[in-house]
Amino acid sequence: MTTADLLALVEDLNRRDEIDGILVQLPVPAQVDSKRVLMAVDPAKDVDGFHPMNVGFLSTQRPGLVPCTPAGVMEMLRRSNIPIAGQDAVVVGRSDIVGKPMAMLLMNANATVTVCHSKTRDLPGVCRRADILVAAIGRTGMVTRDFVKPGATVIDVGMNKITDRAEFERFFRGNEKREQAFAKNGSTLIGDVHPEVAEVAGALTPVPGGVGPLTIAMLMANTVRAAKLRRAAAVPVG
């Protein structure tokens, strides 16, 4: 598999009218230029929402395709009747896949948004201001109780695997269900949020079973949306 092979495949999929969504599942083999392949995907079929054109559409509030994970978080907030407009939202992590589009969606929904990252001073202090706190850092249980204002909504986008017994005990000692699963599988999944946060948060998404399934659902939603947008664009204008 070469870059040229993948480009040819993407171009074929771009051309075919019966294809509505294209997703390049990363990582691609090391010899493939992933950026070139991703850029080759027709923005109108880019159901991941990662193409710069869709990033620009999101920022400028034009119709386009929005990355699945942050779109799923918005869906979750809305369906749970969590107020967004006028709320203080803090997003920890500034990835292209989650942090930045998440911040943009929250801002477009009239939250006052702060984006934190590895260079942020007093991360717990900044996070404690949040009415809505989104953790998307990829660090096992890093968001502890002291990061969370009592009653805040905490969204845990992290998905980290624990295989070490001592680490397991640090987070899940006394949790029977987790103990059984860990004994059986030799591992368990944990987010970026420490389980102790459940004691202070007003609402907290579980890991696994929280943001993850929604991401997949939004991929389907994006595919339907892509189909509709393409049909709408295909209608001759006058």
| Positions in the binding site for its own copies (CB under 8 A) | 51-57, 59-60, 62, 64, 85-86, 88, 94, 96, 100, 104, 107, 110-117, 119-121, 126
CA angle 52, 57, 58 (to 5 degrees): 100
Least distance CB 226 / its own copies (angstroms): 16
Q: For residues 117 and 170, which CB has a smaller minimum distance to its own copies in the complex?
A: 117
Least distance CB 198 / its own copies (angstroms): 27
Least distance CB 32 / its own copies (angstroms): 15
Two tokens, residue 30: 């090391």
List phi, psi (to 5°) of 201: -65, 150
Which are the contacts of 95, defined by CB distance < 8 A and separation ≥ 6? 136
Q: For residues 78 and 117, which CB has a smaller minimum distance to its own copies in the complex?
A: 117
Q: For residues 151 and 209, which CB has a smaller minimum distance to its own copies in the complex?
A: 151
The Cα 100–Cα 115 span in angstroms is 8
110 neighbors 84 (Cβ within 8 angstroms) = yes
Q: Which of 56, 33, 132, 134 is nearest to 87 (CA)?
A: 132
The Cα 225–Cα 47 span in angstroms is 9
Least distance CB 128 / its own copies (angstroms): 13
Least distance CB 149 / its own copies (angstroms): 14
The Cα 16–Cα 44 span in angstroms is 12
Q: For residues 90 and 193, which CB has a smaller minimum distance to its own copies in the complex?
A: 90
Q: For residues 57 and 171, which CB has a smaller minimum distance to its own copies in the complex?
A: 57
Least distance CB 109 / its own copies (angstroms): 9
Amino acid at 80: S
73 neighbors 220 (Cβ within 8 angstroms) = no
Which are the contacts of 175, defined by CB distance < 8 A and separation ≥ 6? 195
Q: For residues 113 and 190, which CB has a smaller minimum distance to its own copies in the complex?
A: 113
